[in-house]
Amino acid sequence: MIPRIYIPADSGALALGAEKVAKAIEKELKERGVEAKIVRNGSRGAYFLEPMVEVATAEGRVAYGPVKPSDVKSLFDSGFLKGGHHKRWLGAPDKIPFFAKQTRLTFARCGIIDPLSLDSYKSHGGLNGLQNAVAMAPADIVKQVTESGLRGRGGAGFPTGIKWKTVLDTAGAQKYIVCNADEGDSATFADRMIMEGDPFVLIEGMAIAGIATGATKGFVYIRSEYPHAVATMNKAVAIARKAGVLGVNVLGSPNAFDMEIRVGAGAYVCGEETSLLNSLEGKRGVVRAKPPLPAIQGLFGKPTVINNVISLASVPIIMDKGAAYYKDFGMGRSRGTIPIQIAGNVKHGGLFETAFGLTLGEIVDDIGGGTASGRPVKAVQVGGPLGAYFPRALFDTPFDYEEFAKRDGLIGHAGITVFDDSADMLKQARFAMEFCAIESCGKCTPCRIGSTRGVEVLDKVAAGIEAEKNLALVTDLCNTMKFGSLCALGGFTPYPVMSSITHFPEDFKPAPARVAAE
């Protein structure tokens, strides 16, 4: 049997040198006259081990990482094609603690299969969900998704089945499925990883959504910063179409569903669903007032399901294994699994899929291994740029939508950014206001004007100008933004600002005192 070598072509792995490693391995094979098949897989998500190269041996896969081009010669000398020992040897990937501790449902195939091999996808359980769905009545599919407890993974955590039911129940000659792949939150890369590493699972999820709601056309809106994801998705759609997974008769059934990939132009607010719809229609990415809900009047005024990549990519396993199977994972009203993305100043950064319920401390300290700098963890921002900063005192918070909300935080798209004790939380609060000022679509006053005023007032606090009075003004401003903004960009910016003030008051002391304290 010709040996198989797996080298990720995932953007994160490429950024860490995977292409150079692939070239070095190709060269070495040629020079040694050895035949081997190189598979460019996605990443399994342990970025601290990337580029992670795997070889398929008679005993299963053996991983090596992080591999540098300069390691390649010695890897061959050590017999790595047969799993031989080497300083980069990691053993069976499934036994590496970072992977062994995970529950992989949505990401079950990511980093394992050839992303563009439909046969490989099928041999790892792919298309089972769609196969079941085409034999079911739309209302029964919606019921199954509702009963699974799946909630939107894009940020708001809205029940997916309820959204689908609204679209199913709304009459319309044309309905759409729109996949939100704008993924603008800091520390997030789950959408990108699945699109690059297992694109058919998203296509399958979208086809199921179409059949469930009567939508025959889908769009994936991908941010322009993701050229590899765009290329992979385009290729995967063409393959799926040719194989009859998409088209007028999905898997030979009477159901029609097809889809297109669209690329955004780069604006954080275009991840907000109504702004995204405007952008897809070729208009300026400005937020629309709700009602009407997109489910009633969405893309081109037609009933539209708009879901995050991970929400849609989680549907195939639900339709394959059943609602009860999926619902069995998790806690409270947060059911199933969530791909937590661990980033920032952290030792073991990467994607960790697990059932809801781990505590923040377990995620940061045990899985993330603490800071990369080796200094104590000071704060953790959960949920992207609009998420709250949690101090160590809140590390007992379980990863659950309601538990985070109770502590004035949010899970968002499950991105976690870790900061060590050198972080200045006043600067972070200012950054939140500045980010909002730059990214605001400008439609409503509290966000458009409030964010700029917020930066000015925080600058006064930093300069020690009437600090107490100005901090009270920031609090007042945050309340106005929270309750008066049209969308969550202006409405949630107060979370990082107020959590910084509440949990790290020492960082907001007037400048002379701060200097004296340092």
Ligand X SMILES: Cc1cc2nc3c(=O)[nH]c(=O)nc-3n(C[C@H](O)[C@H](O)[C@H](O)COP(=O)(O)O)c2cc1C
Q: Does 489 bind ligand SF4 (CB under 6 A)?
A: yes
Q: Residue 335 is encoded by which pair of tokens?
A: 């059911």
Burial of 274 (0-12, 13-18, 19+ CB in 10 A): buried
What are the start-end ranges of the E strands in 10-106?
37-39, 53-57, 60-64, 89-91
CB of 438 to ligand SF4, least distance (A): 11
Nearer to ligand X, 133 or 206 (CB): 206
CA 399 to each of CA 79, 248, 301, 394, 396: distance values in angstroms, whole numbers, following the listed order = 43, 41, 36, 11, 9
CB of 272 to ligand SF4, least distance (A): 7
What are the start-end ranges of the E strands in 139-206?
176-181
Q: Does 341 bind ligand SF4 (CB under 6 A)?
A: no
Q: Does 443 bind ligand SF4 (CB under 6 A)?
A: yes
Nearer to ligand SF4, 370 or 490 (CB): 490
Nearer to ligand SF4, 25 or 488 (CB): 488
CA 211 to each of CA 129, 283, 341: distance values in angstroms, whole numbers, following the listed order = 12, 28, 31
156 binds, among ligand X, ligand SF4, none (CB under 5 to 8 A by kind): ligand X
Rounded Cα distance, 206 and 215, in Å: 10
Rounded Cα distance, 342 and 47, in Å: 10
CB of 434 to ligand SF4, least distance (A): 14
Q: Give the one residue of 232, 255, 314, 485 binding ligand SF4; rule: CB under 6 A.
A: 485
Q: Which of 34, 48, 148 is closest to 88 using CA atoms?
A: 48
Q: Give the one residue of 490, 494, 496, 510 binding ligand SF4; rule: CB under 6 A.
A: 490
417 binds, among ligand SF4, ligand X, none (CB under 5 to 8 A by kind): none
Nearer to ligand SF4, 341 or 493 (CB): 493
Nearer to ligand SF4, 50 or 272 (CB): 272
Q: Residue 508 is encoded by which pair of tokens?
A: 């907001």
Rounded Cα distance, 120 and 428, in Å: 45
Q: Does 180 bind ligand X (CB under 6 A)?
A: yes
306 binds, among ligand X, ligand SF4, none (CB under 5 to 8 A by kind): ligand X
Q: Does 86 bind ligand SF4 (CB under 6 A)?
A: no
* Binding track, positions 403-442, relative to ligand SF4; x by CB under 6 A: -------------------------------------xxx
Give, as ranges, the residues between 142 and 171 that touch ligand X (CB under 6 A). 152-156, 158
Buried b (16+ CB within 10 A) or exposed e, 300-318: eebbbbbbbbbbbbbbbbb
Whether the CB-CB separation of 266 and 225 falls below 8 Å is answered with: yes
Rounded Cα distance, 400 and 407, in Å: 11
Rounded Cα distance, 334 and 359, in Å: 14
Rounded Cα distance, 8 and 13, in Å: 6
Q: Indicate the SS3 state at residue 88.
A: coil
Rounded Cα distance, 94 and 63, in Å: 10
Count the residues of the shown chain that bind ligand X, applying the rule CB under 6 A: 22
CB of 488 to ligand X, least distance (A): 3
Q: Does 488 bind ligand X (CB under 6 A)?
A: yes
Q: Give the one residue of 63, 75, 425, 489 binding ligand X; rule: CB under 6 A.
A: 489
Q: Does 283 bind ligand SF4 (CB under 6 A)?
A: no
Length of the chain: 518
CB of 275 to ligand SF4, least distance (A): 7
Q: Does 448 bind ligand SF4 (CB under 6 A)?
A: yes
* H-assigned helices in 214-272: 227-242
Nearer to ligand SF4, 146 or 445 (CB): 445
CA 168 to each of CA 178, 210, 428: distance values in angstroms, whole numbers, following the listed order = 15, 10, 43
Q: Does 339 bind ligand X (CB under 6 A)?
A: no
* Binding track, positions 182-201, relative to ligand X; x by CB under 6 A: xxx-----------------
- Residues forming a β-bridge with 353: 339
182 binds, among ligand SF4, ligand X, none (CB under 5 to 8 A by kind): ligand X
Of 50-58, 66-74, 79-87, 485-493, the window that binds ligand SF4 (rule: CB under 6 A) is 485-493
Give, as ranges, the residues between 298 and 327 that touch ligand X (CB under 6 A). 306-308, 311
Q: Does 132 bind ligand SF4 (CB under 6 A)?
A: no
What are the start-end ranges of the E strands in 43-134?
53-57, 60-64, 89-91
Q: Give the one residue of 112, 167, 251, 269 binding ligand SF4; rule: CB under 6 A.
A: 269
Rounded Cα distance, 264 and 280, in Å: 8
Q: Residue 115 is encoded by which pair of tokens?
A: 């992303």
Backbone torsions φ then ψ of 304, nearest 5 degrees: -140, 130
CB of 411 to ligand SF4, least distance (A): 20
Q: Which of 73, 66, 79 is closest to 17 using CA atoms?
A: 66
Q: Does 216 bind ligand X (CB under 6 A)?
A: no
Give, as ranges, the residues between 80 and 119 that touch ligand X (CB under 6 A). none
Rounded Cα distance, 502 and 424, in Å: 14
* Binding track, positions 285-324, relative to ligand SF4; x by CB under 6 A: --x-------------------------------------
CB of 486 to ligand SF4, least distance (A): 4
Point out which residues bind ligand X (CB under 6 A): 152-156, 158, 180, 182-184, 268-269, 271-273, 306-308, 311, 487-489
Point out which residues bind ligand SF4 (CB under 6 A): 269, 287, 440-444, 447-448, 485-487, 489-490
